[in-house]
Copies of this chain bind each other. A is one copy, B any other.
Amino acid sequence: MARVVVDVMLKPEILDPQGQAVQRALPRLGFEGISDVRQGKRFELEVDGPVDEAALARIHDLAESFLANTVIEDFVVKVEEPAEVAEAAK
């Protein structure tokens, strides 16, 4: 079983009040030096069977037609490397 991740973010030209709310709060929390924050969604899909070209193509379709609304959102499909997770979490 493998994990495929779909990241969905608002298109850059669309106002992201959630991201802005986070950014506005940063100085209050004592964080400087972050010039922009955007908030999006992350989907983790557990895929049965091999994640080959065909499987990825299908997930791409799924993201395009369902997980993202491409009128307002962009998306990225990635296969999650187990190592990467461990690395990042440390």
Contact = CB atoms under 8 A, between A and B. Distances in A.
Interface residues on A, range: 35 or more
B76 A35 contact: no
A78 B88 contact: yes
B34 A47 contact: yes
B42 A39 contact: yes
Interface string A33-45: 1111111111111
A33 B9 contact: no
Given A76-B85, A78-B88, A88-B78, A39 B29 contact: no
25 contacts: A1-B35, A7-B42, A8-B42, A19-B44, A22-B43, A22-B66, A29-B62, A29-B65, A31-B62, A34-B46, A35-B47, A36-B44, A36-B45, A36-B46, A37-B44, A37-B45, A38-B43, A38-B44, A39-B42, A39-B43, A40-B41, A40-B42, A40-B43, A76-B85, A78-B84
